[in-house]
Amino acid sequence: MKKSAKVGGTRKKVLSITGLFAVVIMFFLYMIPFILILLNSFKYKRDIIKNPFSLITKKGYTIENYITAFEKMNFLRAFGNSLFVTGLSTIAVIILSAMVAYYFTRAKNKFSSVFFTLMAASMIIPFQAIMIPLVSIYGAQLGLLNHRLTLVFLHTGFAMSMSVFIFQGFIKSNIPISLEEAAYLDGCSKLQTFFKVVFPLLKPTTSTLIILNVLAFWNDYLLPSLVLGKKNLLTLPLSTYTFYGTYSADYGVIMAALVLTVAPILILYLFLQKQIISGVVAGAVKS
């Protein structure tokens, strides 16, 4: 019995070490593109073209790529545009989707059931299928292009379905209606009950949706490229395209611009990672 238990324990250790080794290998394979971008952002163009995988360069490393990228992409203005669009879109999505999800959960009628089903079904429709009539035809005819608020409106609309779906599941599973009934007895209106009782309890899911929507809005290139055409309105992802020429591109500056674009969102993720994990767990476990 002792020998059998020893063999079983050894097998578990071997499997555990093998699994850990496989996870580490997969992690490094996944991180290779990000490491290469960061590494090449400090190289000269000639060294990147000659050997982008090399750690040793003939001319050495430089921070000139970051200085050039910061100036040419007009980083501060592009950062302000991205911050305005992303921040306003995220706030609108979170508040509106939470209110809609609360109504769909508590109002048990055909209207709420039908519209929740339609919103859930709309998630399978790709944006590419409707982008031409939505932006090129209606946007141009109504004069809605080249306005940041138009982009905020479109971001909010496209993100509502997923956010409502996630909020609705959390409210239905984790928020007892008895809390709302107690608030009604204390004299709260439905709006006060939502913002003072229900919405604070949505914090884990709210944190998760904030980071998901911020990532989507901040990194989006396709929709802003269709709506925004003026240089003073470009967001960070759009401003990186200015380094691509017709016949050539300065890859070192492009890599530096990509790092500058991604850096703010990585910092945000580092600050919110605990809330993100707790939000995912809270949404997955039914109380």
Nearest to 207 by CA among 275, 285, 273: 275
Question: If you compute the radius of gyration of the chain from its CA atoms, what whole number of angstroms results?
Answer: 25
* pLDDT band (50, 70, 90) for residue 286: very low
Residue 96 CB coordination number (10 Å): 16
CA dist 164 and 119 (Å) reads 8
Output the pLDDT for position 93: 95
235 or 123, higher pLDDT: 235
Three-class DSSP category at 22: helix
User: 186 phi and psi, to 5 degrees?
Assistant: -80, 0
Domain boundaries, the chain: 2-40, 65-284
Angle, nearest 10°, between helix axes 203-219 and 75-106? 140
Rounded Cα distance, 223 and 158, in Å: 11
| Residues 6+ positions from 251 with CB-CB distance below 8 Å | 40, 45, 48, 49, 52
In angstroms, the Cα distances linking 72 to 253, 254, 255 are 10, 11, 13
Q: Name the amino acid, one letter, at 116.
A: F
In this predicted structure, the answer to whether residue 7 has a pLDDT above a threshold of 60 is: no
Domain spanning 65-284: CATH superfamily: MetI-like (1.10.3720.10)
Residue 273 CA to residue 277 CA, distance in Å, equals 6
Highest mean predicted confidence (pLDDT) among 78-87, 177-186, 206-215: 78-87
The pLDDT of residue 235 is above 60: yes
Check pLDDT > 60 for residue 263.
yes
pLDDT tens-digit readout, 57-77: 777 888 888 988 888 888 999
pLDDT (mean) for 139-155: 84
Range with top average pLDDT, 95-99, 185-189, 207-211: 95-99
Measured CA to CA, the distance from residue 275 to residue 273 in angstroms comes to 5
Whether pLDDT at 87 is above 80:
yes
Contact 91, 136 (CB under 8 A): no
CA 125 to chain centre: 19
> What pLDDT, on a 0 to 100 scale, did the predictor assign at position 79?
92
pLDDT higher for 6 or 94? 94
Residue 78, helix vs strand vs coil: helix
Cα–Cα distance for residue pair 238/81, rounded to 1 Å = 11
pLDDT tens digits along 35-52: 888 888 888 888 888 887
pLDDT above 80: residue 8: no
pLDDT higher at 58 or 245 = 58
